[in-house]
């Protein structure tokens, strides 16, 4: 890239990137923020509303929001039943979305197209401009796990949902194979995509945390009582809902029996909608405030004693792990939750334990203050030294430099 000349990027996202309690939206927002100094970004979002547009606009040359309809629409359900596309993709195929993308391509000469997630891809017209698919998580694997875990009357839906997942896998792998460049959001994802596609050029992006979190002063003291956090998360994401159910069904009663004064905070977008049934004096179910307000994510990361997140399936990088560790909050998860792209040492920087060992590790963290603080402080050092978003996005800039240089040659 010529010195002082910004690269022109058309970025396409299936939402408005914003600082809500959603991993994908936060990652997209921070990617844009730290790409902006070296890139001239035109952003096209597919969203039901314009919430967050003002915040992300300060880092973009232009922001276009295309109105998205309802998810559970009878026409979409019937279309998915007969279409080669799965229901997830049907929800993001839109004539208006296609026209908005084509309009910008006709109006401007871009160096590359960046698309977050595979499901908006059918809206991108055939073009000679390099398309970069940034896959924040492997979607088909998440939905496949969900279908296999169905119980009760929901099992009757398994054949239909399994067929939809099969279509999802077909199209997700299709775009992995045919897109100019694929960027995975975790080492495990990069390895799987490489194995499935046979490509040796699958790129890898290290997720990170915003510099403001790294430099944030302490504004909240740790709770005087033992306090466990699940969050801060978007509870519409099925992996997060499954994690909460794992805590409530397998661990919470045993934790309370061993530590009667312990409290659990279930925090995130739509948390009261999904988990209000669990709310009590000891189980606090709430949404976090937006950044900068009294009870924003930072408040919960600094107030609680540990972050517990047993996961049923892997993929991507958990923003809540990165952010929690930044505030010296010990993280404990299962192998399925993994740690995404975080290169950590187990039982030094964080704890990844099999399901049968989660309880004893939680109790050890609660009962041993020095051990808890050591794990938390080690985790913070790891993130501060290696996972600032400003540093991580330099890797994405390097990928883009390589693409544009090859195009010029």
Report pLDDT digits (tens) over 171-205: 999 999 999 999 998 888 899 999 999 999 999 98
Q: For position 341, what pLDDT does the model report?
A: 67
Instruction: Specify burial of residue 295 (Cβ count, 10 A radius: 0-12, 13-18, 19+).
Output: middle
Residues whose CB is less than 8 angstroms from the CB of residue 255 and which lie 6 or more positions away in sequence, other chains included: 228, 262, 264, 359, 362, 363
Q: For position 136, what pLDDT does the model report?
A: 85
Q: For position 316, what pLDDT does the model report?
A: 54
Cα–Cα distances (Å) from 74 to 79, 85, 238, in that order, read: 8, 16, 22
Q: For position 21, what pLDDT does the model report?
A: 52
Look up residue 243 and give its DSSP letter.
H
β-pair partners for 265 = 229, 284
Report pLDDT digits (tens) over 115-169.
Answer: 999 999 999 999 999 999 999 889 999 899 999 999 999 999 999 999 999 999 9
Residue with tokens 């300060």: 58
Q: Does domain 7-208+389-408 have CATH number 3.40.50.2000?
A: yes
Look up residue 388 and give its DSSP letter.
B
- Tell me the CATH number for domain 211-386: 3.40.50.2000
User: Between 158-178 and 187-197, two packed helices, what is the crossing angle to 10 degrees?
Assistant: 80
Q: For position 23, what pLDDT does the model report?
A: 74
Question: In 189-333, at which residue ranges do the beta strands (DSSP E only) sit?
Answer: 203-204, 227-234, 263-269, 283-286, 306-309, 331-333
Which parts of the chain sit beneath pLDDT 70? 1-4, 20-22, 314-317, 338-341, 409
Look up residue 14 and give its DSSP letter.
S
Q: For position 317, what pLDDT does the model report?
A: 57
Residues of the chain within CATH 3.40.50.2000 domain(s) are 7-208+389-408, 211-386
């Amino acid at each position: 890239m010529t010195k002082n000349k910004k690269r022109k990027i058309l970025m396409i996202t299936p939402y408005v990137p914003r600082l809500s309690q959603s991993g994908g939206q936060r990652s997209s927002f921070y990617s844009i923020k730290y790409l902006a100094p070296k890139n001239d970004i035109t952003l096209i979002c597919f969203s039901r509303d314009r919430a967050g547009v003002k915040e992300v606009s300060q880092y973009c040359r232009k922001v276009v929001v295309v109105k998205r309809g309802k998810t559970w629409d009878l026409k979409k359900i019937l279309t998915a039943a007969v279409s080669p596309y799965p229901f997830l993709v049907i929800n993001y195929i839109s004539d208006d979305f296609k026209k908005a993308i084509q309009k910008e391509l006709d109006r401007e000469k871009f160096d590359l197209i960046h698309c977050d997630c595979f499901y908006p891809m059918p809206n991108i017209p055939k073009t000679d401009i390099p398309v970069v698919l940034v896959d924040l998580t492997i979607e088909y694997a998440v939905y496949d796990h969900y279908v296999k875990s169905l119980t009760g009357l929901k099992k009757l839906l398994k054949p239909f949902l399994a067929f939809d997942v099969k279509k999802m896998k077909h199209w997700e792998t299709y775009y992995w194979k045919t897109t100019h460049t694929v960027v995975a959001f975790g080492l495990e994802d990069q390895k799987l995509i490489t194995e499935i596609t046979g490509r040796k050029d699958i790129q890898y992006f290290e997720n990170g945390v915003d510099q403001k979190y790294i430099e944030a002063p302490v504004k909240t003291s740790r709770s005087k009582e033992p306090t466990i956090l699940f969050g801060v998360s978007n509870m519409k994401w099925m992996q997060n809902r499954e994690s909460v159910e794992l805590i409530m069904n397998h661990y919470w009663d045993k934790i309370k029996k061993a530590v009667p004064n312990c409290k659990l905070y279930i925090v995130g977008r739509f948390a009261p909608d999904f988990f209000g049934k669990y709310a009590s004096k000891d189980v606090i179910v709430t949404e976090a405030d937006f950044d900068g307000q009294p009870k924003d994510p930072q408040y919960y990361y600094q107030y609680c004693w540990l972050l517990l997140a047993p996961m049923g399936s892997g993929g991507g990088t958990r923003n809540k792990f990165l952010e929690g560790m930044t505030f010296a909050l010990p993280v404990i998860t299962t192998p399925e939750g993994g740690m995404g792209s975080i290169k950590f040492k187990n039982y030094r920087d964080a704890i990844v334990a099999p399901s049968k060992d989660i309880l004893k590790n939680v109790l050890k963290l609660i009962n041993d203050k020095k051990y808890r603080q050591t794990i938390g402080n080690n985790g913070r050092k790891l993130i501060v030294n290696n996972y600032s978003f400003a540093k991580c996005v330099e890797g994405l800039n390097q990928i883009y430099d390589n693409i544009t240089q090859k195009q010029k040659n």
